[in-house]
Amino acid sequence: MSATYIQDEAEFDTLLENESLLVVDCTASWCGPCRLVAPLIDRLAEDYRDRAKVFKLDLDANKAVAKRFGIRSIPAVMIFKQGELAETVIGAKPYEEFSGALDKYTD
């Protein structure tokens, strides 16, 4: 199981409204560190599939979302709880850092 891409801001907003715990990996095809993080995000999607929804967002195609949340460097993994941004993990980090951040918001 891998994290799927959010197509546009409308889909992003729908997910925000409907998912109690949402993880969004802000990425871009030209970003080297993003490629390191990608398999970790897929693993997160698998490990947390019963507790959270994990997606990827191509920032080149979704500049409005990046602007809205002030994303200036990627990879940036945003965690939303009940539609509110709870935490953002910036940079290529080990898996434990992403899962540890997510654990704080899972019941």
pLDDT level of residue 88 (50, 70, 90 thresholds): very high
Question: CB within 8 A of 96, min separation 6: which ones?
Answer: none
Residue 57, classed as helix, strand or coil, is strand
Out of 3, 31, 45, 78, the active site residue is 31
Check pLDDT > 80 for residue 9. Answer: yes
**Which pLDDT score is estimated for 82?**
96
Q: Which long-range contacts (CB under 8 A, 24 or more apart) does 37-43 make?
A: 37/75, 37/77, 37/92, 37/93, 40/94, 40/95, 40/98, 41/3, 41/77, 41/98, 42/1, 42/2, 42/3, 43/95
Task: DSSP letter for 91, please.
Answer: S
Contact between residue 74 and residue 59 where contact means Cβ atoms under 8 Å apart: yes
- Annotation says 31 is catalytic: yes
pLDDT level of residue 107 (50, 70, 90 thresholds): confident
pTM (2 decimals)? Answer: 0.96
| Distance of alpha carbon 52 from alpha carbon 80, whole angstroms | 10
| pLDDT tens-digit series, residues 56-65 | 999 999 999 9
- Annotation says 34 is catalytic: yes
CA dihedral 13, 6, 57, 41 (to 10 degrees): 110
**Which pLDDT score is estimated for 98?**
97
Out of 34, 65, 71, 101, the active site residue is 34
Check pLDDT > 80 for residue 1. Answer: no
Mean pLDDT of the chain: 96
Domains of the chain: 4-103 (3.40.30.10)
pLDDT level of residue 2 (50, 70, 90 thresholds): confident
Contact between residue 44 and residue 101 where contact means Cβ atoms under 8 Å apart: no
